[in-house]
Amino acid sequence: MEFAFTSEQKMIAETARVFFTENATRERTRQAMACDGVDYALWASFCQELGFSAIGIPENLGGAGLGLVEMAIIAEAAGAQVAAFPMFGSLVLCAQAIAAGGGAGQREDLLPRLMSGETIAAYGHAATLVDDGNGLSGEAAFVAHGASARIFVVTGNNGAWIVKADAPGVSIAQLTTMDQTRPYARVVLSGVVGEPLAQPGKAIAAAQRAGFVAIAAEALGGAQACLDRTVAYARERIQFGRSIGSFQAYKHRLADMMIEIEQARSAVYWAACATDEGAVDAELAAHAAKSFAADTYFMCAGNMIQLHGGIGFTWEHDAHLFFKRARALQSMLGNGDWHREQVAAMIFGEMA
């Protein structure tokens, strides 16, 4: 049984932890929140100094190889600091879509730019997207980091395209977003010339696979951080002449957080491993991980506010960053009910 990190994976985890703790600081994150939710210095060192942006892209496409387990390790560490940078849209969704479903030219042209961080891509879905011969028209409502992107991967019900942000007919409106570390934009296309991805089905499947797991991993990191920070507070804060962590109602909430987090950890790495190994239950695992970990994160972030009392309700304290990111992750790429319904359909043998 080897369902534990290898020494290489432990090293990646430690490097990532140190990197985000040192760089994705509360001051820098708050500066990014006041603009477009991107800490550009963080993004540049992530892509260029650490080279983590190449993880999960096959070596023959210029990437670092490795797989979703390693990508999850990075997302977990980023989530623990609620890092404000576009890894999720640009690397997890777009780069995976292009690597899996792009033509040779698209891969050669785009992947190096995405991995170097020079170009930020964002991923949008527009159910109504049509190409009526006069270009693409439709609206992608909630495109994460959409206002920071130079290119988009847009998917519709029957295709996936690459669209340049400055192409004629593209209009982008940054939306004031509850989670300012990952603001949404509305992207409206009217008669835009897009470049179809060679294999849209493969592209979308790859983006979803990686997306579900990365969200789950980010949620895991965030949930653990909520617990760690609350535990630290429980030790120092005194009321009624005792540390608040000595009250059983308080302790038990912390324990409940840990119980859920440990399951979320199993979920994330089961799903990542199952996908990397091509296991038969990989899809079920990804739905399980996305729904379970996002719910865990929200539960922990809510508890974090409650267990900090008034200070936890302030803008100044970081608790709301976790709380808002957790809420965003619950909705992103399908809410928990939707993912569980997919699982139910598999259980009852109703899948196509």
Partner 1 sequence: MKLGFSTGDELFRQECADWLNGQMSGEFKDIKGITKLTASPERRKEWEQRLGEARWGCIGWPIEWGGRGATLGQQVIFAEEYARAGVPGRVNHIGVELAGPTILAFGTPEQKQRFLPSIAKGMTIFCQGFSEPNAGSDLAGVRTAARLEGGEWVVNGQKIWTSLAHIADWIFVLSRSEKGSSGPNGLTFLMMELRQPGIEVRGIKQINGDSEFNETFFTDARCPADSLIGAAGDGWRIAMGLLAFERGVSTLGQQMGFRNELDEIIRAAKENGAARSPLIRQRIAKAEIGLRLMRYGALRMLSNADHSKIDGAALTYKIQWASWRRGLGELAMDVLGQAGEVTDTNDYEWAALPNLFLFSRADTIYGGTNQIQRNLIAERGLGMPREPRGDA
- Residue numbers at the binding site for partner 1 (CB under 8 A): 1-6, 9, 69, 227, 231, 234-235, 242-243, 245-246, 248, 251-252, 254-256, 258-259, 261-263, 265-267, 269-270, 273-274, 277, 279, 281, 284-285, 288, 291-292, 337, 340-341, 343-344, 347-348
Give the nearer residue to partner 1 in terms of CB position, either 85 or 269.
Answer: 269
**DSSP states along 266-321:** HHHHHHHHHHHHT-TTHHHHHHHHHHHHHHHHHHHHHHHHHHHGGGGGSSSSTHHH
Cβ 85 to partner 1, closest distance in Å? Answer: 25
Helix (H, G, I), strand (E, B) or coil at 178: coil
Cβ 214 to partner 1, closest distance in Å? Answer: 16
Cβ 167 to partner 1, closest distance in Å? Answer: 42
The rounded distance, in Å, linking the Cα atoms of 149 and 138 is 18
Give the nearer residue to partner 1 in terms of CB position, either 113 or 237.
Answer: 237
Cβ 76 to partner 1, closest distance in Å? Answer: 13
Cβ 315 to partner 1, closest distance in Å? Answer: 28
* Neighbour-count burial for 294-332, b at 16+ CB within 10 Å, e otherwise: bbbbbbbbbbbbebbeeebeeeebbbbbbbbbbbbbbeb
Give the nearer residue to partner 1 in terms of CB position, either 9 or 45.
Answer: 9
Cβ 78 to partner 1, closest distance in Å? Answer: 19
The rounded distance, in Å, linking the Cα atoms of 200 and 278 is 20
Give the nearer residue to partner 1 in terms of CB position, either 204 or 273.
Answer: 273
Give the nearer residue to partner 1 in terms of CB position, either 119 or 266.
Answer: 266
Q: Residue 152 burial by CB count (10 A; 0-12/13-18/19+): exposed, middle or buried? A: buried
Cβ 321 to partner 1, closest distance in Å? Answer: 22
Give the nearer residue to partner 1 in terms of CB position, either 52 or 184.
Answer: 52
Give the nearer residue to partner 1 in terms of CB position, either 52 or 123.
Answer: 52
The rounded distance, in Å, linking the Cα atoms of 217 and 261 is 11
The rounded distance, in Å, linking the Cα atoms of 234 and 71 is 32
Give the nearer residue to partner 1 in terms of CB position, either 39 or 70.
Answer: 70
Sheet holding 170-174: strands in order across? 130-131, 136-144, 184-192, 170-174
Cβ 285 to partner 1, closest distance in Å? Answer: 7
Give the nearer residue to partner 1 in terms of CB position, either 13 or 205.
Answer: 13
Which helix (H) or strand (E) segment holds residue 327: the answer is: helix 319-331
Residue 59 neighbours by CB distance under 10 Å:
10
The rounded distance, in Å, linking the Cα atoms of 51 and 68 is 16
**DSSP states along 72-115:** HHHHHHHHHTT--STIIIIIIIIIHHHHHH--HHHHHHHHHHHH
Cβ 329 to partner 1, closest distance in Å? Answer: 17
